[in-house]
Structure formats: structure tokens, C-alpha cells
Chains A and B, each alone.
Chain A
């Protein structure tokens, strides 16, 4: 065995890679509950790919066959129901894990230097995962699949100039049709999964270059022993491989419970309207995406003329004034005024629909800039002051609220909640430079606690 390993090592860096990334990858010793979700996300990716491979063996990407082939998997294929529910319930669990993983990053400042690239790669992963989930949802060719895709692709129609031809190019037809279903199948089973795998690889390579953050936000590489190993680090294997196995076991209990007892989660994981075949003459009474898209969908729906006039316009003017007071350089001030001028002109010149799409896009883009919007000298919420803690709490509550109202009709109190939530969402990111600058932080310990 030793001889074989030596033979391989002369030809391939097997032991070197194993040591670098597993057995001698030193991770902080104080990881808590929140650090389960990285490895759980990887587990979910593997589950989705495996269950997807077997679904592809029976599924037919054809508008006249697709819906029936899913029924066939559910009823006639041995264990087909289990594989299908693993995949469909798995999608929701994947997003639960990812949202908690991202929340961990917000709490402990994992996006801050030197981990900006880890964060950005993670955000690209998140966007790619959203695309993957969106395209997968068309495949059963249920009525909600059809109309959901119709609405989301129409978003591109709203873009000035290129919009209509771009939407036509994405659909491959004038409406969502067989051509659309077929290409979504292709992208869902091969293109995006390959991209996801590549991005996960890059995400982990970037992480292992800079090392993991921890609940104290202390850089363990700053304090090393005589051998050059971090004093507060322990090898990933066996310490965290064992800990993560416990996490996996706990997670799988919950996952299995959902699959066996509530795979549709009363319409939250699989919508009732998707149990009838797509009907181009009949919209479901309420078109709504699955829960993991609804925070962003709420922002889209909340953007009406009222929100622009009474919410966004004062917000942009106030933000501009605040920036002008805060920056010193004359050139920067000029740039700020020009940008604000364009935005305000756009508020009057462009339709509310265009702004809805733009804000939905911006709500994702802002996440990418978080490492630079946050000016705080400390990472972890443990050593931040009340300002950041309050901001993160309000943001989290309003994000969940946006998610909930996105599943409800866009009227009355729901519409108002969505509009308030939208303003809170953007305020969290765009006021972050001031919140984090003026927040009174506590001293960070030298070593992890």
C-alpha cells in the first residue's frame, strides 16, 4: 500500500493535495453551529446531482410528454417518487442551507478582507444556483412552471432597446414553448451544473488560500507556534470531518422527515398549481415563484410610481446629501452628483416596470460590494456596537417579511410591507458605510475565545 502511494505521489500530487486541503488544513478551533452550512451545501449539491442523474433517465423534455413523464416517474418508475422528491424537496433545502450559510457570513464578517474573493465567488454561486433552480422549475411543465417562466423571461422585455430581442433569444420563440423547455433542460442538466462545480472548486481554493474565518473574527494565522502552525487551529481532518458528519446526520434526519411526511410542504416546496399541466390560455389565479425567490420578487412588485415618488426619490436625495457631506475630494463629489442626477432623471423618464427589474438586479449586485461597503475595523458581530447589530436585525426581519409578502397578493397591507421592506433592504447596504464607520466597536481579543 505504501509502495503504491509512493508510486502515485511521484506522478500525481495526491498526498500533497490531501494534506494541504484536508489533513493539514488548519481551521480555527472555535467553529460553532453556523459553520455546518458550508459542508451541508456541498452535500446538497451532491444529492441534487445524483438524484438529477437518475431523473434524467426517465424524464422527457418535450411539451407534449414532459408533464406525463414526471407523473410516470412518480407512479410507475420503481422508487421514482423518492428520487423525484429528493430532488424537488432538495432544491428548497439547498436554499435553506445557502441562506443560513450567507447569514453566517453577515454575522461574523466573513466577507471582509482578506476573504473578499471567497465572498464574491460565493455570490456568483448563489446567482448561478438561482438560475439552476429557475430553469429546473420549468421542466415538469406544470401550469405554474409555464407562467412563472413566462413572467420571469418577460422581465428581460422591460430592458430598454435590447429587451424584446433578448427575451426572444432566451425563449427561442415568441412565447415560452417547446424550444424553451428543451434549452432549459440542456442548461439545467449540463451547463449550469458544470459551472456550479467549477465555482465550488474556486470558492474552496480561495477559502483555503486565506483560511477560514471564525465566530470571533480573529485571524488565527497571526499567532503561530514554533512549527509555524496556527496556535488556535486544528486540522480539518479528523476534527472537523467528524464534527461535520454529526451535522450531516442531524440534517439528514430533518431532510428525510420532509421528504417522507411533507414533500410538498403544503405548497411551499411544490406549488399546488403545478399539479396541472401547463395551459397557455389560463393563468393560475396567483403567479408566484417558490419561496426562495420571493424576497427578490417582492422588490420587483413593490416598485410602483408611488414607491419611486415617495420612497426612492427622497432616499436617493438624502443619500446624495449624506455622501456630499462625508467625502472630501471635489472630484468624488462631482461624480456623486452626476450619478444622482442620472438616477433622478431615470425616476421621471423610465417606467416603474423598468425600475422594478433594475432594483431586483441591484438587490443582488449590492451583496457583491458588501466587503467594501462595510468599513468596520472588526469582523464578528460579537465585537460590533449596537448600530450594526440593529441594522442586521432589521434587515433580516425585513428580508423574511419580503419573502412572505412575495407569496401573497400584491395588494393593501402586503404591498405596503413589500415597499417598506424594499427601502429597508437598500438602506441596509447603502447606509452600511456610515453605520459601520460610526459604530462603536469593542476590543477584539488576540486569540479566539
Chain B
């Protein structure tokens, strides 16, 4: 790398050419990198899903698929709803204050539009496992009030999908956008006023 016999003008041109070439290579990479983002078809597949909930009995949970994710619809019994108040002191976010985990209309005591019907994405907020349904009292431990238990890393959620303290999952389960078409039919993926069909 001797500095002798170097024409500074040519050296400058050489460096400039290299720089422009590097920028060009950067632009050339754009189509390849972009081709790996979700395709138009994948985006379109995020269409809303309609579910008839009249057949779900009290205490029963029905899983449905929406955007390739399991969505749980649970019709809670009066005892189940009563447990939501008892477990409050053990929860991280009992008032559902983390905004992105539910739409505004589900930011209430039961995290639902109708108190008895819980609609929640069945994917643990830790690392994306699907928690097990431990809806009965006393299944996990003697003081278990019913809820969801993730076997992968031990996260626990109550019957409104709210996360317990001292488990790896940081947030409550996500409540998806959903709306009632009638008393017995719900549409998952759309806000009640019909503006959120993204």
C-alpha cells in the first residue's frame, strides 16, 4: 500500500466508483429482501372468520382458526366469572392496561363484549406456544381457579386470559377484534363498527 506513484485524482475516482457500486448493490438487494415479506396472498388470507356460537355450552371452549392462529371462544359460567375477581391480586395486569392486547371495547373486567363469552387468541405471549386449557378448579394446584397453563415454559393465565405474576409470559393473551352479527354469530377480525377489517 505504498503512497508513491499514486495519482490522487484517479484514486479518488476509484473510491467514488466503489462507493457508487456499493450503493447500487444495496439497491439491487431490495427486491430479494422484499420478496421474503408476507405476499399479497398471505395478507389477503387475513380475512375475518364467522363463527356460530349458539352451540357452545356454558363452560365449553371451542377453538377456531383465524389468520392461521388458534382463537378460543369460551362461554364462561357464573362461577368462572366470579373467579376473575378472586385472582386479581395475583395478576400482572388485572385492569388490562396494555393497550395492544385487546380492543378498547374489551378493556373491561371480563375482557369481552358480552361478559360470558371470551374470545382470545390461544397463543402464549412468551414464545408462541398454545397453552393448555385447565378450565376446572384445582387442576394445576389446589388453589388453581381455572384458566390456561402453558406447558412449554410454565406461564399461567386466568379465565379472561390475564397473565399471572412470576411466569415468563409478560402480557395478557391477545383478544382479537370481533363483533356480534347476531346473538349467536360472531365475526372474528372485525371491529363492531366495521372499520377494522384489515
Interface residues, chain A, CB within 8 Å of chain B? 147, 150-151, 153-155, 157-158, 168-175, 177, 179, 183, 280-283, 285-287, 301, 304-306, 351-353, 356, 409-411, 415
Contacts and interface: CB of A to CB of B under 8 A. Distances in A.
A122 B139 CA distance: 48
B152 interface: yes
Interface string B53-76: 000000000010101111000000
Contacts of B129: 147, 150-151, 283, 287
Contacts of B42: 172-174, 177, 179
A280 B154 contact: no
Contacts of A306: 166
Contacts of B38: 168, 171-174, 179
A179 B38 CA distance: 8
A169 B63 CA distance: 27
* Of A150, A151, A153, A283, most B-chain CB atoms within 10 Å: A283
A353 B126 contact: yes
B170 to A, nearest CB: 5
Secondary structure class of chain B's binding surface, majority of residues: loop
Interface residues of B, number: 29
A283 B130 contact: yes
Contacts of A177: 42, 68
B44 to A, nearest CB: 12
A74 to B, nearest CB: 27
A356 B70 CA distance: 26
B138 interface: no
Given A283-B130, A353-B168, A174 B37 contact: no
Question: Sorted from nearest, which 10 A-B pairs have the closest CB atoms?
Answer: A283-B130, A154-B128, A175-B68, A281-B70, A151-B127, A287-B152, A154-B127, A173-B42, A351-B170, A150-B128
A60 B46 CA distance: 25
Contacts of B169: 353
Contacts of B185: none
21 contacts: A153-B128, A154-B127, A154-B128, A168-B37, A168-B38, A171-B38, A173-B38, A174-B38, A179-B39, A280-B70, A281-B63, A281-B130, A282-B130, A283-B130, A283-B132, A285-B151, A286-B151, A286-B152, A287-B129, A409-B154, A410-B154
Scoring A158, A170, A305, A410 by chain B CB atoms within 10 A of each residue's CB, the highest score goes to: A410
A175 B126 contact: no
A124 to B, nearest CB: 21
B170 A353 contact: yes
A298 B187 CA distance: 40
B128 A411 contact: no
A151 B46 CA distance: 21
Nearest to A409: B151
A405 to B, nearest CB: 13
B36 interface: yes
Interface string B150-167: 011110000000000010
Contacts of B63: 281
A438 B127 CA distance: 42
A174 B68 contact: yes
Contacts of A154: 127-128
B65 A280 contact: yes
Residue from B68, B128, B132, B152 whose CB has the most chain A CB atoms within 10 Å = B128
Contacts of A157: 128
